[in-house]
Amino acid sequence: MKEKKQTIDDIAEELKISKTTVSRAISGKGRISEETRAKVMAYIEKAGYKPNAIARGLAKNRTYNIGFAVPGDYGLVDLPFFQNCLWGICTYAAERDYDVVITMVRENDISQLERLITNNKVDGVIIGRTYENDLAEKFLTEKKIPFVTIGSSRNDEVIQVDNDHVNACKELTGVLLGKGYKRLALIGSSLGYIVNSNRLKGFVDAHKEAGVEPIKELVYTDVEYGANIDAVVEKLVKNKADCIICMDDAICAYVLNRLKVMKISVPDQMKVASFYNSSTLEYNEPAITSLNFDVRELGMESCKTLLQCIKHEPETRKRLLGFEVVLKESTK
Domain-by-domain residue ranges, the chain? 8-59, 65-163+295-323, 165-292+326-331
Q: Which helix (H) or strand (E) holds 289?
A: strand 289-292
The CA distance from 152 to 131, in Å, is: 9
Domain boundaries 165-292+326-331, CATH class: alpha beta
For 252-269, letters b (16+ CB in 10 Å) and e give: bbbbbebbeeeeeebbee
Residue 327 buriedness (CB in 10 A; 0-12 / 13-18 / 19+): middle
Query: What does CATH list as the number for 8-59?
Result: 1.10.260.40
Which residues of the chain register pLDDT less than 70? 1-6, 27-30, 48-61, 74-78, 314-315
Q: Are domains 8-59 and 165-292+326-331 of this chain identical in fold?
A: no
Write out pLDDT tens, residues 143-193: 999 999 999 999 988 999 999 999 999 999 999 999 999 999 999 999 988
- For 201, the 3-state DSSP assignment is helix
Domain boundaries 65-163+295-323, CATH class: alpha beta
The predicted pLDDT at position 229 comes to 93
The predicted pLDDT at position 9 comes to 80
The predicted pLDDT at position 1 comes to 39
The predicted pLDDT at position 296 comes to 95
